[in-house]
Amino acid sequence: MEQPQPEQLSFDFYTEKPHLVRESRDELKLTLGNFAGPLDLLLYLIKQEQANIFDIPIARITDEYLKYVRLMKSFDITLAADFLVMAATLIEIKSKMLLPQEITQDAEEDAEDPREMLVRQLLEHQKFKNASQMLYERVTVEQAVFPRGRVESDENNAETNATVFDLLAVFQRILSRHTEEVQMEIQREEVSLSEMLKNLKKRIFETKELSLLKFFEEMHTRRELVTAFMAVLEIVRAESVKLVQTTTFGDIILRKV
């Protein structure tokens, strides 16, 4: 895509000269960050035209303004959006000024100059522009002043109070956290009923006899216990397995028939 030839575009804060940076052959870079907005552009144009801010030659300024906006639009559409509002305002003022003034009977009630709002806004903006210049000067001066470096104190560096024992305590805490994590992993391993059943069958077929108490003790969680109990019920129902209890309230043995 052909880019327009570099033209002066944005403003340098100090010299107030618009500039455009050509980075490489096909790349034009606008220093848009320095561009403060449509009011700035307008102020610049008024200054350049050596016009009176209280009597802006609106037609001329609008033309100039639109020229800039068109150029900018070809570079950065989102930025131009802000400027388009101002363009619309300028055109509106221009058209209002072309209309014949209504002749009012009341001399005191002069028809309001359509430019008045804009002028007020420009003046207000100019004030803050000057104020920001002042702030810039202040910060520049201030950056040439250095306070002393920071002093180590308990408040800004609590760690200086730590001893080897504190270190040890912290290490222990890390270790214990680690074990907790491992325990959690075990809990997460959940055995399904079918897995439990398979496991139980295998045990009984291998050993012929299985102590229920021992089998239940192997379980880690309540959930596993419940699953184990259900597996025992299932195996008793389906398979030829006998439940044997030698003494009252004693251990129950699962015996393969």
Partner 1 sequence: MDEEIEEKQTRSISEIVSLVEALVFVADEPITVKTLADVLEEDRETIEAAVEELKQEYEDREGGLQLREIAGGWQISTRTEYHEEIRKYLKTRPNAKLSLAALETLAVIAYKQPVTVPEILEIRGVQSASAIKTLLDKKLITAKGRKETVGRPMQYGTSKDFLLQFGLKDLSELPSIEDFEDLTQGI
Using CB under 8 A as the criterion, which residues of the chain lie in contact with partner 1 when the complex forms?
Answer: 11, 13, 33-39, 43, 46-47, 52-53, 82, 86, 121, 123-132, 134-136, 138-148, 150-151, 153, 156
Q: Cβ contacts of residue 29 below 8 Å, gap of 6+?
A: 20, 21, 22, 23
CA 30 from chain centre, in angstroms, equals 26
Q: Please, which residue, 102 or 159, has the CB nearer to partner 1?
A: 159
| Minimum distance from residue 26 beta carbon to partner 1 (Å) | 26
DSSP 25: S
Q: Please, which residue, 52 or 176, has the CB nearer to partner 1?
A: 52
| Minimum distance from residue 85 beta carbon to partner 1 (Å) | 8
Q: Please, which residue, 14 or 249, has the CB nearer to partner 1?
A: 14
Q: Please, which residue, 73 or 125, has the CB nearer to partner 1?
A: 125
| Minimum distance from residue 224 beta carbon to partner 1 (Å) | 53
Token digits of residue 237: 């129902």
| Minimum distance from residue 91 beta carbon to partner 1 (Å) | 16
Coil, helix or strand at residue 49: coil
| Minimum distance from residue 227 beta carbon to partner 1 (Å) | 55
Cα angle, residue 249 at apex, residues 245 and 252 outer, rounded to 5°: 30
Q: Cβ contacts of residue 251 below 8 Å, gap of 6+?
A: 211, 212, 213, 214, 245
Q: Please, which residue, 78 or 163, has the CB nearer to partner 1?
A: 78
| Minimum distance from residue 150 beta carbon to partner 1 (Å) | 6
Are the C-beta atoms of 230 and 193 separated by less than 8 Å? yes
CA dist 86 → 5, 71, 98 (Å): 25, 15, 18
Q: Please, which residue, 153 or 246, has the CB nearer to partner 1?
A: 153
